Structure formats: C-alpha cells, structure tokens
C-alpha cells in the first residue's frame, strides 16, 4: 500500500524511539528558551510549548485545553453554498510488494491508542481518518478516491466513491500520475456535466493526510470569480503546496482548470522528471505561475488571499496559514495557529499525529482542544 501522502515522508534514518510508559511526554522548556531540535522520531505523543502564545488571532492553550475558541461554522448545517462539494484524492496499493509479507511482523507494527497497525493498515487508517474529518465537518460533501485499477481495497463509509483510472502508478511516477488522474477525472466530469442539469459540484483535490477543520464551501461563495485555487506560503523556492487544489465545478471552471493542469503536467514532464518521486509537481506549479511576466512573487510574503489571471485561468491564491496549515510551519513562520484555520496538513513524519488527533477528538468532541494537541506537537517528528 502506498498512498500519495507517503511520498512526502522524511526519509532520514534516526535512532529507534525508546519504549514509552505514559500517554504522552511534555518537553519542559519555557517559551523564552530556544527550542531544542528534535532529531529522533517518536512512537508516542510528545508535547512542547504552543507557538503563538500571547499573539492576537492565534489559538491560546493551557495544556491541551483551548483558552480561546477557533472560528468555526456549525457542522450540523449544510454549507451555505447552494452547490455541492466533493473531495478528490489519489490512493493506490502495491499488492506484489516484496515487503508485503514482512509488514505484518510484530517488529513492523505500530500502536496508536488501542489499535496496532502494519504499514498497509496504517495507510488505510490515515485514509479513513481523512474521510472521518470530512464527514464530521462537512457532512453533506462527498469523497472520491482515484486509484489504480489493479489496487484491491475496500472502504465501508457513506458518500465515498472509489474510481479506478488507468495509468502508471509506480512509486517513481506516482506524483506525475496524480496530475494525469486529476486531468482524466476532469474530462469525466465534463462529459457528465453535459448530461446533467441543476446543482453544480465543486472539487477539492487534496492529499489524504489532511484534516478538514471547517467548512470549505465558503471558498466558492466568498471568491466567485476564480477557476482554480492554490495555497501558498512564504517560501522562496517552493511557495506552492500541491496538497490542496480547488476547482470550480462549472463547465468554464473545469475547462480552465484542465488546461492549467495540462500545462503543469507538460512542465513537470519536460523539466522536473528528476524530481518525479516527490516535489516535482510543486516545482512545476511554481514554474507555470512565475512564467507569467506580470506575476509578482513578493505577494507570497503576505498571508492574504488574492486572484491573478494565469494563462487564461483565474487563479485564487489562498494562504497556507489558514487553508493548508502544517505543524512544523505552525511552530515556525506561521507563528502559531490562526483562529480561522480550516485545513491541517500532517505532511512528513506526522501521520501518527493525525491518528492521535482523531482519537483525541473522538473522545473529547472538542475540536479546539484537539487543535491545541496538534499545535503543541508541532516541533515533534514521529515514527510515521
């Protein structure tokens, strides 16, 4: 099993974590001390100081209890957007992996809460938690999983569709295939759109290691003139993250998005095949954007949404701090967690934290407290 999210894992080899004897560890350092760099990867929760302490419009925590509340819509009601929302992700399984038999050995099992997982099982657990968060925060939305026809897995969740799409899903080409699968999916939607009348469905293409924290339908209501939406951060070489791409579901939106992604695919194939295993798609995205002579990359330095015409498509740029927040960047350039955060992305060695966060939310039902747990673990790397 090898979901797209696995390709962004940190591959550095570290010392094996020692066996733990309590639910989680607390790093005893004051907010004034420079945080010590953690080089080992942990097999249990490790909590440190919460970044953003004392800053306005940032989540404030005492322990794992939120002192102020994040700004959420009510998940018990459908999005105010009259149109539908569907999340689209790519996920595949390698049934003939030479390591498949070894994955089930006790030495390869990891334990989160009361459950133990082999490597394939933990990937399925992450996919299920991805779906769980969507169904809790956006219960009226659907999830579409694009996969290799050779993959063999089952999901027992409502409003979830598995859609096989032919392609080259090898590990070295998976990120390239993801863009191809997105384009094929948009072609399928265009055909159906000509046959359907009435309600429009907008699409959010994402990695499966994200947690949807708030209703994302408001993007399509608040910003009504875009075709494609990307998320950005203040990073000179890689300001765009491909783990979140929104597409307006109108015919014009799908056509413009398809043309835009086709250009990204061409750039990827011609310029970044050496990075085909990972990061090539993000480099290609940025190349397409910065190739527009009128585009000013300095706009990425401010966490403010803006719209720019790129190659005939109206592209909405959304700040990662709100729409693609990550634990390490929350502990760094984001200076904590904004109160209006809508997506948490557990990229890199933080998949364990995603499962731990879901377990905590399931037992507490308080999403702000869960976010404190995530925020205080921002500097920690885990065993997966």
Q: Is the pLDDT of residue 323 over 50?
A: yes
Round to whole Å and give the CA distance between 329 and 213: 17
pLDDT at 274 over 70: yes
pLDDT band at 14 (very low <50, low <70, confident <90, very high): very low
Does residue 78 come out as left (phi exceeding 0), alpha (psi in the -120 to 50 range) or beta?
beta
Taking the C-alpha atoms of 117, 120, 125 and 131 in order, what is their torsion angle to the nearest 10 degrees? 180
The token pair at 81 is 């957007």
Backbone angles phi, psi at 191, to 5 degrees: -65, -45
Distance CA 183, CA 90 (A): 12
Range of the domain at 138: 82-93+108-378
H/E stretch holding 211 = strand 210-212
Residue 1 domain-assigned? no
pLDDT, mean of residues 221-244: 95
Lowest mean pLDDT of 72-76, 174-178, 253-257, 293-297, name the range. Answer: 72-76
CATH number, domain containing residue 333: 3.90.550.10
Residue 135 included in any domain: yes
pLDDT at 322 over 50: yes
Report the number of distinct structural domains present in the chain. Answer: 1
In this model, does residue 317 exceed pLDDT 80? yes
The alpha carbon of 254 is separated from its chain's Cα centroid by a whole number of angstroms, namely: 21
> What integer pLDDT is reported at residue 104 of this predicted model?
54
Question: For the ranges 89-98, 122-131, 224-233, 335-344, which has the lowest average pLDDT?
Answer: 89-98
- What pLDDT does residue 22 have? 40
Tokens of 260: 């835009």
DSSP tag of 87: E
Quick check: is 39 in a domain? no
Backbone phi and psi for residue 85, each to the nearest 5 degrees, phi listed first: -125, 135
Q: How far apart are the first and last CA of the chain?
A: 14
- Residue 24, pLDDT score: 65
Taking 60 as the threshold, does the pLDDT of residue 10 lie above it? no
**pLDDT above 90 as % of the chain:** 70
Residue 360: the pLDDT is 96
pLDDT value at 32 more than 50: no
Mean pLDDT of the chain: 86
Does residue 215 sit in helix, strand or coil?
A: coil
For residue 364, tell me if it sits in a domain. Answer: yes
Average pLDDT over residues 52-65: 95
Instruction: Give the CA count within 13 Å in the CB-facing half-sphere of 253.
Output: 23
Position 12 in a domain: no
Best mean pLDDT range from 68-72, 169-173, 175-179? 175-179
* CB-CB contact of 171 with 178 (8 Å): no
Element (H, E) at 133: helix 119-137
- 35 lies in a domain? no
Between 34 and 108, residue with greater pLDDT: 108
More confident residue, 12 or 121: 121
Is the model's pLDDT at 12 over the cut of 50?
A: no
When pLDDT is cut at 50, 70 and 90, the band that residue 154 belongs to is: confident
Query: What is the pLDDT, as a whole number, of residue 85?
Result: 97
Residue 16 resides in a domain: no
Taking residue 81's Cβ as centre, other Cβ atoms within 10 Å add up to: 18
- pLDDT tens for 64-109 read 999 998 877 766 454 445 689 999 999 987 655 545 545 556 668 9
Strand partners, 240: 232
Query: 343-384, pLDDT tens digit by residue?
Result: 999 998 999 999 999 999 999 889 999 999 999 998 899 999
Checking if the pLDDT of 35 tops 90, the result is: no
In a domain, 21, yes or no: no
pLDDT above 70 coverage of the chain, percent: 84
Q: What is the mean pLDDT of residues 275-299?
A: 91
Q: What is the mean pLDDT of residues 200-217?
A: 97
Nearest-angstrom CA–CA distance, 283 and 290: 11
């Amino acid at each position: 099993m090898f979901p797209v999210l696995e390709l962004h894992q940190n591959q550095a080899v570290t010392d094996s974590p020692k066996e733990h004897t309590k639910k989680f560890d607390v790093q005893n350092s004051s907010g004034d001390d420079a945080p010590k760099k953690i080089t080992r990867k942990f097999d249990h929760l490790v909590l440190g100081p919460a970044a953003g302490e004392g800053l306005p419009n940032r989540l404030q925590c005492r322990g794992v209890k939120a002192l102020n509340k994040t700004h959420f819509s009510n998940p018990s009601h459908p999005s105010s957007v009259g149109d539908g929302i569907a999340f689209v992700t790519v996920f595949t399984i390698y049934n003939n992996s030479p390591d498949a038999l070894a994955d089930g050995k006790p030495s390869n099992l990891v334990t989160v809460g009361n459950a133990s997982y082999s490597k394939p099982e933990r990937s399925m657990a992450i996919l299920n938690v991805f779906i769980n968060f969507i169904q809790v925060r956006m219960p009226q939305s659907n999830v579409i999983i694009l996969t290799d026809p050779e993959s063999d897995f089952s999901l027992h969740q409502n409003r979830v569709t598995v859609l096989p799409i032919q392609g080259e899903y090898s590990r070295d080409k998976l990120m390239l295939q993801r863009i191809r699968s997105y384009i094929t999916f948009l072609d399928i939607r265009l055909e159906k759109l000509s046959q359907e009348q009435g309600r429009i469905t907008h699409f959010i293409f994402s990695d499966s290691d994200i947690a949807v924290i708030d209703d994302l339908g408001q993007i399509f209501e608040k910003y009504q003139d875009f075709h494609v939406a990307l998320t950005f951060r203040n990073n000179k070489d890689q300001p765009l993250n491909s783990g979140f791409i929104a597409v307006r579901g109108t015919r014009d939106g799908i056509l413009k998005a398809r043309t835009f992604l086709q250009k990204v695919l061409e750039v990827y194939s011609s310029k970044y095949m050496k990075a085909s295993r990972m990061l090539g798609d993000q480099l290609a995205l940025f190349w397409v954007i910065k190739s527009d002579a009128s585009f000013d990359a300095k706009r990425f330095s401010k966490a403010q949404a803006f719209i720019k015409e790129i190659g005939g498509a109206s592209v909405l740029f959304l700040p990662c701090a709100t729409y693609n927040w990550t634990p390490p960047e929350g502990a760094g350039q984001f200076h904590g967690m904004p109160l209006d955060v809508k997506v948490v992305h557990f990229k890199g060695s933080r998949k364990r934290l995603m499962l731990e966060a879901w377990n905590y939310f399931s037992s507490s039902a308080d999403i702000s407290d869960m976010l404190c747990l995530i925020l205080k673990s921002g500097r920690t790397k885990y065993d997966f």
